[in-house]
Structure 1
Amino acid sequence: MQETFTQKSELKKSCINCGAELTYAPGTTSLTCDYCNYEQEIPVSENSFEELELVKYLNKMGGQSHSEQITMLQCKNCGANQHVEENYKSLHCVYCSMPLIIEDAYKEDWILPGAVVPFQITQEKAHQIFKNWVASLWFAPNNLKKAALDPQHTKGLYAPYWTFDAQLFATYIGQRGEYYYVTKTVGSGKNRRTVQERRTRWYPASGNVSGFVDDTLIKASKQKTGVIPSKVSRWNLKQLQPFNSSFLAGFVTEKYTIPLKEGHLVATNEAKTIATRWAKNDIGGDTQRVSSINMQLSEETFKHILLPVYISAYQFKGKRYNFFVNGQTGVLSGQRPYSFWKIFFLVLGILIVIGVIVFFTN
């Protein structure tokens, strides 16, 4: 079994024609050679991704059969843990662009990914989205616009996430609210009028709800800065593919830094939110209150998945700005700096025009 996973996670793949490194072509199921254009089909697994039994991993059992050692580089500036393949051209952190020192590489165990959403748009397309966005910004510093001209500033990253599945059963106690209206006179004199005022009758309610909670998505990494925005963190998980390291060729893979146990706690809170929503639907009426809920999760499973995002990092006056493009959908989000001098001269120009108008008017 261990030998199977070692082969499964082997990353370096060479072109059979020229020996150059093969890289994954986004939006396809192929590896390509940048030198001779050779293409190699990635075998698509007929098996669905494997859900791992949660209890065994939380009890530190069973992990060895689905784990391996990989070479990691940690950014000393922002703390991101990255696995950089041998063929990756730039040894710089994808989050902050600070140099990564290859001599600092170390071996570390990780739970193998169970599935991956492969990149669907190319680096060139992501950079063009970023470039168009920068061009549309008002009062952007000229240095930012110059930085947007270099595609090397836009890098592809597979970000780690946990997903959790479980059977949920919960009992609840609450209240069902039903609206009714009373006629009320307001105002006085000519402004005197009648209005309908809404009120609520409350009735006790209790019961139980149950169902399957599927793919609760929990981020598995954290950095000091450069957090992927929620606007970008929306992937279609129906495009998940059983993990094959070929999809990672030519990209950086970030290792999870949020442990499975911590991710499970967050997922449990999410499950409680879901249970509360189900309870309110079960209560019915016009509005609901849930005063207490007792939730149980069973048959819990999880998987470690990798999701695609492009990142551009830019330094301006000692502050770092990150720009993110979803590698599946192309959605962009990012912070932007403002040019003080561009704003200053615009305001000055407006004041001069107003002054000229006032002068000639008088």
Structure 2
Amino acid sequence: MEEQKIQKTELKKACVNCGAELKYKPGTTSISCEYCGYEETISIKESGFEELELHPYLQEMGALRHSEEISMLHCKNCGADQHVEENYKSLHCVYCGQPLVIEDAYRENWILPGAVLPFQIDKKQSFAIFKNWVKRLWFAPNNLKKAALDPQFTKGLYLPYWTFDAQLHASYTGQRGEYYYETRRVRNANGKIVTQRVRKTRWYPASGEVSGFVDDTLIKASHQKTGRIPGKIAYWDLKKLQPFSSGFLSGFVTEKYTIPLKDGHLHSKEVARGIADTWCRRDIGGDTQRVSSMDMKLSEETFKHILLPVYVSAYRYNGKEYNFFINGENGRISGTRPYSFWKIFFAVLFGLIVIGVIVFLSKK
């Protein structure tokens, strides 16, 4: 039966020496035992990534061999869907820190990831990055340091993304603008007559065709509420992608995509249209351009479901939720932060006292 061919990414591998779970070692292609140091090399397909034809999947005709069944937990507090490893008795949501219980797990299919960008920094390095970031924060509550450095609040998370490839062809009509300058005499604010150089534009009709390959258009595949992965850290070097192997997921949480392939494809077409517009303007040339019409067509479309790494720390202060994020590939950090009312109050009070002393001494 086809169902028997479905891969199980949550099945863990035990250490041959002591029986403990082997976990992925960031920055390598190995899984290792935290207790005895035993290591194994992750088996990676020599054929590289497999690009899947887009339209059969959009028509719900994708082959079962490209899908798998995994265990998922849905966070009732923030709505995140997370892949659960079977050895967990309970865990906390990587985004909001609320408890998730294994008995609430359900099973569902997903499109098998075609590639994964493995973590390049480990949890210890992420702690050092958090610590340095916290040190630079003004008026932060003292509890913030504890939250940023406590391992139970920090999780390594693989985020789902879609990538789309396509051959792009577009025909366009528009105008090419060329600048020229005229000198004219005007009266300035002081009533004097002065010369002024004015830029103008001559427009010429333009039309043509452009074509090329659009590679790895990256589209997020999960709905993220306010406070989720900040755009400033959402940059990964996709040249480091590895063909998918469940070994890279060992010891980490995986978020399932919640944005369907169809919606991701629609977003990618918007991105492709922006690329086509840029190509058309470059083809028109001149100093400035107008594109009045453009007919864009995409062909030979393929896609991949890929997983990208981040570290997430969830923290609650005075009933409000805060998140801190570190890019698991390059170490970039971003997050929201609370302010200490009392630190600000005493800082303002101290400032007023200093000003008062200065004023008092100046009157002597």
Q: How does 1:228-307 map to 2 (within 5 A)?
A: 228-307=229-308
- SS of equivalent residue, structure 2 residue 343: helix
TM score, norm. by length of structure 2:
0.95
Q: Partners in 1 of 2:273 and 2:149 — Cα distance?
A: 47
Aligned 8 A contact 1:276 1:290 in 2: yes
Distance 1:88 1:197, change over 3 A: farther
The corresponding residue for 1:355 is 356
CA distance change for structure 1 residues 226 and 161 in 2, over 3 Å: closer, same or farther?
same
Separation of aligned partners in 1, 2:192 and 2:324: 55
User: Is 1:70 matched up with 2:70?
Assistant: yes
1:230 partner letter:
G
Q: C-alpha deviations, 1:118-166, integer Å up to 9, x for none?
A: 0000011012101110111000111212222313322100000000011
Gapped regions of structure 1 (runs ≥ 5): none
Counterpart residue type for residue 273 of structure 2: K
Report what 2:19 is aligned to.
Answer: 19
Report if the CA contact (8 A) 1:280-1:289 is conserved.
Answer: yes
1:234 maps to a residue whose letter is Y
Distance 1:90 1:309, change over 3 A: farther
**In 2, distance between residues paired with 1:100 and 1:214?**
38
**For residues 92-131 of structure 1, what are the structure 2 equivalents within 5 Å?**
92-131=92-131
Q: Does 1:326 align with 2:317?
A: no
Q: Are the equivalent residues in 1 in contact too, given 2:6–2:64 (CA < 8 A)?
A: no
Residue aligning to 1:145: 145
**Which one-letter code corresponds to 2:277 in the other structure?**
T
Tell me the amino acid that sits aligned with residue 315 of structure 1.
Answer: R
| In 1: Cα distance, 2:264 partner to 2:124 partner | 34
Amino acid at match of 1:265: L
SS of equivalent to 1:268: helix
Q: Once the two structures are aligned, what percentage of the paired residues are identical?
A: 70
Deviations 1:221-243 (A, max 9, x none): 01334321111110010111000
Q: Tell whether the 8 Å contact from 2:6 to 2:69 is kept in structure 1 after alignment.
A: no
Partner letter of residue 235 of structure 1? W
Deviation at 1:322, TM superposition (A): 1.0
Tell me the SS of whatever aligns to 2:164.
strand
Equivalent residue runs for 1:331-346 within 5 Å: 331-346=332-347
Secondary structure of the equivalent of 1:148? helix
Q: Work out whether 1:59 is the aligned partner of 2:59.
A: yes
Q: CA RMSD in A?
A: 1.8
Relative to the length of structure 1, the TM-score reads: 0.96
Per the alignment, residue 167 of structure 1 pairs with 167
Q: How far off is 1:344 after superposition? A: 1.3
Which AA in structure 1 matches 2:338? P
SS in 2 for 1:77: coil
- In structure 2, do the counterparts of structure 1 residues 350 and 191 end up closer, same or farther at CA, with 3 Å as the change threshold? farther
Query: Which residue in the other structure is 1:41 paired with?
Result: 41
Partner amino acid for 1:173?
T
CA distance in 2, matches of 1:54, 1:229: 29
Listed one character per residue, the Cα deviations across residues 73-103 of structure 1 (whole Å, up to 9, x for unaligned) are 0000010000021345860000111101211
| Aligned residue type for 1:232 | I
Q: CA deviation at 1:42?
A: 1.1
**Partner SS, residue 50 of structure 1:** coil
- What's the CA shift for 1:330? 0.4
Q: Which stretch of the first structure deviates more once superposed, 9-18 or 186-195?
A: 186-195
Tell me which residue corresponds to 2:134: 134
Per-residue deviation, 1:190: 7.5
- Structure 2: which 5+ runs fail to align? none
Asked if the contact 1:11–1:246 (Cα under 8 Å) also holds between the matched residues in 2, the reply is no
Distance verdict in 2 for CA 1:7–1:68, change over 3 Å:
closer
Give the Cα separation in 2 of the matches to 1:242 and 1:51: 11
